[in-house]
Chain A
Amino acid sequence: MPVLVWSDHDGALGNSIRTGRRVSLSAEEFRPEAEDLDRALDDLLDMAWHALTVITKREKGKPRFNSFEQAWALGRAVFVSEILRHPAMQGEERGFLWQALAPKAWYGIRHDASRDSRWRGLIPARAKKWQAKPKDATAYRFMEIGYWLRDQQLQDAGEVFGWKYSNAYDLYHCASLRSIELRQVALDWIRWQKPVVKETFNKATGFRIFQQALQKRFPARGPGSALLPQHYPPDELRAIVFETLDAARDLHFAQIADAAP
């Protein structure tokens, strides 16, 4: 996908074209397509921003952004806008889209070079690696995770990850646990739990306990990695996940009880 990537050097705006396609001289030959895409990204960012304003809590009149919600809003907007079906995107890696979106939102530059600083709210404040390493795919992990979260409604996704971006990051990090089927079953399991379990689950350390149990049951590599959650029939997956998480929960709380004076 040829994309137009904006830059802002002390107020001086510039842009360049990036593509994974074979070029005869330079990527500039794809500029018309890239500019067309850039126009479509304006609408996408507007849509994401409006969604974020609806879901973000406010304190003393000021929005209090949550990284998890920021990532979800942007990922969902990418999905709903069907921007990946844009002709410019055919046969190209998704990473180029993130390379275009991140600076465009951060610097708030519309296709006609007018500014819209609100979009900066869509980028988590801590996600700055892309500024230092704009071509490093891992620098755009927050966008990749947001796009991954698109399959679930915000409320459902929030419950699964305790509204914590770090929890989503941890689960995404394990490639075998990325399927929507697993997240749906995990959600069912959480809803059955007592508040004390839910509370533990929502904390980063607690979440990791359950994540590790699942990772052990569905390893990403080596023996046992051939059948991942999405490969099981729904009932069987539900039984496996419930059994795994129940065992992890019981072990964890038994250890706490043992440690208590």
Chain B
Amino acid sequence: MQFTNTSTNMVQAISNIINGYKMGAMRALAQEPVQNALDAKRKGTPKVVVEYRLLWRSMATGEPCYMLTVTDSGTVGLRGDMVTTEELERRDHKLLPEENWAAFEAQGYTKESEDALGSRGQGKAAFLYHSHVPGPTRRMLMLYDTLLESDEYRLGMRFARPVDQTMDPPLVDEKARAMVRSDLFRVNDELAIPLKLKPLRKIGTRIIVPFLDEADVRETKPYGELSRWLQRCWWRAIQLDKLEIRIVDDTTGQTEVIAVPAWWRDLPRIKGKPSTDGSWCDLPDGGRSCVWGNLPLEDGHKVRRLVLLHSDAILEDEISKEPEWSGIQLLRHSQWIETYGAREEYGDLIPAEKRAGFRGYVEFAKHTESALRHHEVENSQHDRFNRRKKIISDIRNLLTERVRDFSHEMGWKEAVSTSQQTASQRDKDTYMRFLKTFLNPNGRKPKPGQGKGEPDGKQLIWDLRLDLGYPDPKSARVDWGQAIRNVYVEVSVEPGEELIGSADLVLEWVDATGESTNIIRKEATIGNSWGEDSIQAQFQLGDWQIHRGHAERERVINCPNPGEYRLRAAVEYHGERVKSAARTIYVQTKPPLPPEKNPITLSISAVNADDGEKRRIDHGEVLHIEFKSRNRMPDTATVYLNATFCDEVFARGMPVDLAGTPAGDTSTPYPILTVKCQLLDPLQSANLLIADTLVLKMPESSGTFRIRADLLDAQGNRIANSSKPVYFQRDPSRAKNELPFEIRQESQQKEMWKLNRDLTELTYPGDYPLRKELPDVRRQNHLLQGKNAFIAEISANGLLEWALRPKQENGDDSNYDQLRDSIGNPDDPKWEPYIRRLEKTGQRSNRIRA
């Protein structure tokens, strides 16, 4: 048996993929296998059947272990030729639609006549993540056998140890069948898998996940969490008889067939073409429902069916923090993608006591479903639509209107009318939610003076996101009379320990001089206890029209002069700004064009997770690495990431979709990969394993090592490069110096200052005429005078060069971001002009070079 290694750290890659599912790994396991099976449906079969089966086995050592198999039938199986890595590269990572085997074995490809969705390895990750191969380090393994129409039988294997390993070539026909039947599948000298399975008899595929994590056993049994996710994701396909899903517990013989939830069970009765005005019907339990059909959206898109329902008899049944049932489920190809929550989205239209029993779903016309499946609209985890896209914004508006009608018809007038008051119910709800963000059961209080931290040094990490829609999604220009749409703010704080006090959300309009005008202030007061790891508050702040004259209407911004402005959202806590985010708006003015050179940049931040202030990392400490990228072009770009540190490969050709930045808007660095690794001295013992953390034995006991990353385009051209030093068990040579470089006199130098190629040394001539003329004085009265002023001047220039040179040369934003982040309190408005100039300098430098 031969295995092919790739240098990818598969364990890390899988963890990254699964961490991208906002509702967790179990939803991924419920969603991906079934979706793959439906995509592989065989012509002429009535429906696809997927069976999740939990089995118990005994290992060679006698220890018990669990195994999960997921078998589909009514599908074409993993057909197609086996394609080697070299062949795949030669074919520019493109596969034919029928090459399912190759697609399942490859990492990172696209299929012809298919969009980029579904080619990111989510399917494999969903299985592998649940396999915990015994041993001191995290390893994952899965096997897959398939029976094809040609009667060919194949058995393959993937092992993440943590390098990615596949069995090459796979076993076929009788060898494969015999291996499936055998007691032990020997992977290597130290690992054998007890299989003892019956070979497949129906055409289809079976994925075998050995060493199922103990914690997952209960959840994968009938009526466990897996069953609940399967129902949420696939109830509509089951109702339409396209799909059957079974969960079988082999240890007890118990079987569950996933059923349509009770409240939707009777609704197939509403057949035929529903009216665009809505057809109402009373439910037997006293509730009511309404069905709309053929509701037009802009650009020729259409809602095929929208059903809303309310019954007091329906109880709340949510698994995660995200809305699942309670609200309107958005379905695409009968698959649940996302729910617009009754509380989160329609809090001002549905009274609090009615939200638990509110249900809805929406389906779209065929070509609208195709548009939704595009990778710029639906994320690769298939659990969220991009709200910045016009089609989604149109859908949201339409749904809000229909919920408003429903609410009116249901007599929930109080909620509707309150929402129209200045201090609306919605605002109160928002206050309450926001308030909870800042509650603190431990009674400890963050020191406002420190902004983001607590006095004992434990840092609170605040985050704030400001989303909005421009009239033209590709430009930050807004003309008089036009509106900034769907202003949305999301605030989070970690760790979600208790906080005490009141916090405000402020929305401001900032002119070019930095002068700001409050347009909303939402104040919060002390509330009761709350404890979560990560606390989030969301605010839907609606549309804001830009007005030239003086108008006293709500949600109108008076802006008589054309020019560049900013809409800024900020969180204030105990009078201090703890976090802010701003978006740029060009009123009646053409925004500058995006840079021609390096429109996509990359940056790396590496922080000692045990002590963020410490630049040195010692044995056993955890390094938190974040790779971020900015896309300054208006269109979404797909790029590929290579990232390494010492001998470890974090990503190799990892596809990343980068949302675009409207021309003129502030480009935001998006995190594309986060890695936590514990660094170990190769000469010391290593019994320091930390969950979810990669363990990295350093090449040497001490030294400076670099994290490196490249971004490539689809043709393999390098478009950005970044690197970051890590000081392992040694202090940076400039430990006592706040500057990132040494300053040294150089006798033979003509330039006033010069920064060396490595950006580590700033030199100046000791006999520079200006410096010679300046007196030798010490720093007095907080002013830099004499020769010190000269040093300050060259240091400032050196810093700018240090930040901008890598940006210009390689599209490396690491130093630039570090310079931005080093601002004492970037959320303090007095820093606004500095940040704006820095951003402009960064953008301008790209254009000048271009």
Interface residues, chain A, with chain B CB atoms under 8 Å away? 20, 84-85, 89-94, 179, 221-228, 230-234, 236
Give chain B residues whose Cβ lies under 8 Å from the Cβ of A227.
642, 644, 649, 652, 710
Partner of B810 from the list A84, A94, A222, A231 (CB cut-off 8 Å) is: A222
Give chain B residues whose Cβ lies under 8 Å from the Cβ of A221.
723
Contact call A92/B710, Cβ cutoff below 8 A:
no
Known A90-B683, A228-B708; 12 more pairs at CB < 8 Å: A92-B702, A222-B721, A224-B710, A225-B710, A225-B721, A226-B710, A226-B721, A227-B644, A227-B652, A230-B647, A231-B647, A231-B652
6 A-B pairs closest in CB distance: A223-B718, A226-B710, A226-B642, A226-B708, A223-B721, A93-B702
Partner of A224 from the list B652, B683, B718 (CB cut-off 8 Å) is: B718
Q: Beta-carbon contacts of B88-132 to A below 8 Å, as 1s and 0s?
A: 000000000000000000000000000000000000000000000
Contact call A89/B652, Cβ cutoff below 8 A:
no
Q: Residue among A20, A84, A89, A221 with the most chain B CB within 10 A?
A: A221
The B192-250 residues at the A interface (CB cut-off 8 A) are none
Contact call A90/B710, Cβ cutoff below 8 A:
no
Instruction: Give the CA-CA distance A231 to B700 in the complex, in Å.
Output: 18
A-B contact pairs, 21 of them (CB 8 A): A90-B701, A91-B619, A91-B681, A91-B684, A92-B701, A92-B702, A93-B701, A93-B702, A93-B703, A94-B701, A179-B647, A221-B723, A223-B710, A223-B718, A226-B642, A228-B644, A231-B647, A231-B649, A233-B4, A233-B5, A233-B7
Contact call B683/A85, Cβ cutoff below 8 A:
yes
Interface size of B in residues (CB-CB distance below 8 Å): 31
Q: From B643, which residue of chain A is reached at the shortest CB distance?
A: A226
Chain A's nearest CB lies how many Å from the CB of B485?
39
Contact call B7/A226, Cβ cutoff below 8 A:
no
Give chain B residues whose Cβ lies under 8 Å from the Cβ of A223.
710, 718, 720-721, 810
Instruction: Give the CA-CA distance A227 to B650 in the complex, in Å.
Output: 10
Q: From B618, which residue of chain A is reached at the shortest CB distance?
A: A91
Q: From B703, which residue of chain A is reached at the shortest CB distance?
A: A93
Q: Within 8 Å of chain A (Cβ to Cβ): is B515?
A: no
Contact call A93/B810, Cβ cutoff below 8 A:
no
Instruction: Give the CA-CA distance A230 to B163 in the complex, in Å.
Output: 13
Give chain A residues whose Cβ lies under 8 Å from the Cβ of B5.
233-234
Contact call A231/B644, Cβ cutoff below 8 A:
yes
Give chain A residues whose Cβ lies under 8 Å from the Cβ of B649.
227, 231
Q: Given that A91-B729, A231-B644, A233-B6 are contacting pairs, would A225 and B708 also be in contact in the complex, using a CB cutoff of 8 Å?
A: yes
Q: From B730, which residue of chain A is reached at the shortest CB distance?
A: A93
Interface residues, chain B, with chain A CB atoms under 8 Å away? 4-7, 85, 618-619, 642-644, 647, 649, 652, 681, 683-684, 700-703, 708-710, 718, 720-721, 723, 729-730, 809-810
Q: From A96, which residue of chain B is reached at the shortest CB distance?
A: B702
> How many inter-chain contacts with C-beta < 8 Å in the A-B complex?
71
Chain A's nearest CB lies how many Å from the CB of B698?
12
Chain A's nearest CB lies how many Å from the CB of B604?
10
Contact call A94/B6, Cβ cutoff below 8 A:
no
Chain B's nearest CB lies how many Å from the CB of A196?
31
Q: Residue among A224, A226, A228 with the most chain B CB within 10 A?
A: A226
Contact call A226/B644, Cβ cutoff below 8 A:
yes
Give chain B residues whose Cβ lies under 8 Å from the Cβ of A230.
647
Give chain B residues whose Cβ lies under 8 Å from the Cβ of A90.
681, 683-684, 701
Q: From B619, which residue of chain A is reached at the shortest CB distance?
A: A91
Contact call A225/B619, Cβ cutoff below 8 A:
no
Chain B's nearest CB lies how many Å from the CB of A237?
9
Contact call B701/A91, Cβ cutoff below 8 A:
yes
Chain B's nearest CB lies how many Å from the CB of A123?
23
Give chain A residues whose Cβ lies under 8 Å from the Cβ of B709.
226
Contact call A94/B644, Cβ cutoff below 8 A:
no
Partner of A89 from the list B619, B683, B710 (CB cut-off 8 Å) is: B683
Instruction: Give the CA-CA distance A236 to B88 in the complex, in Å.
Output: 13
Give chain A residues whose Cβ lies under 8 Å from the Cβ of B643.
226
Instruction: Give the CA-CA distance A227 to B708 in the complex, in Å.
Output: 8
Instruction: Give the CA-CA distance A90 to B649 in the complex, in Å.
Output: 27
Chain A's nearest CB lies how many Å from the CB of B733?
11
Instruction: Give the CA-CA distance A79 to B4 in the complex, in Å.
Output: 32
Give chain A residues whose Cβ lies under 8 Å from the Cβ of B701.
84, 89-94
Instruction: Give the CA-CA distance A236 to B718 in the complex, in Å.
Output: 19
Q: From A95, which residue of chain B is reached at the shortest CB distance?
A: B702
Contact call B7/A222, Cβ cutoff below 8 A:
no
Chain A's nearest CB lies how many Å from the CB of B620?
11
Chain B's nearest CB lies how many Å from the CB of A40?
15
Instruction: Give the CA-CA distance A231 to B681 in the complex, in Å.
Output: 21
Chain B's nearest CB lies how many Å from the CB of A227?
5
Contact call B7/A94, Cβ cutoff below 8 A:
no
Instruction: Give the CA-CA distance A91 to B683 in the complex, in Å.
Output: 9
Chain B's nearest CB lies how many Å from the CB of A77?
17
Q: From B647, which residue of chain A is reached at the shortest CB distance?
A: A230
Contact call A84/B703, Cβ cutoff below 8 A:
no
Give chain A residues whose Cβ lies under 8 Å from the Cβ of B683.
84-85, 89-90
Instruction: Give the CA-CA distance A115 to B196 in the complex, in Å.
Output: 71
Q: Residue among A92, A179, A230 with the most chain B CB within 10 A?
A: A230
Give chain B residues whose Cβ lies under 8 Å from the Cβ of A93.
701-703, 730
Instruction: Give the CA-CA distance A190 to B518 in the complex, in Å.
Output: 72
Partner of B700 from the list A94, A226, A228 (CB cut-off 8 Å) is: A94
Chain B's nearest CB lies how many Å from the CB of A203?
29
Chain B's nearest CB lies how many Å from the CB of A223?
4
Instruction: Give the CA-CA distance A228 to B706 in the complex, in Å.
Output: 12
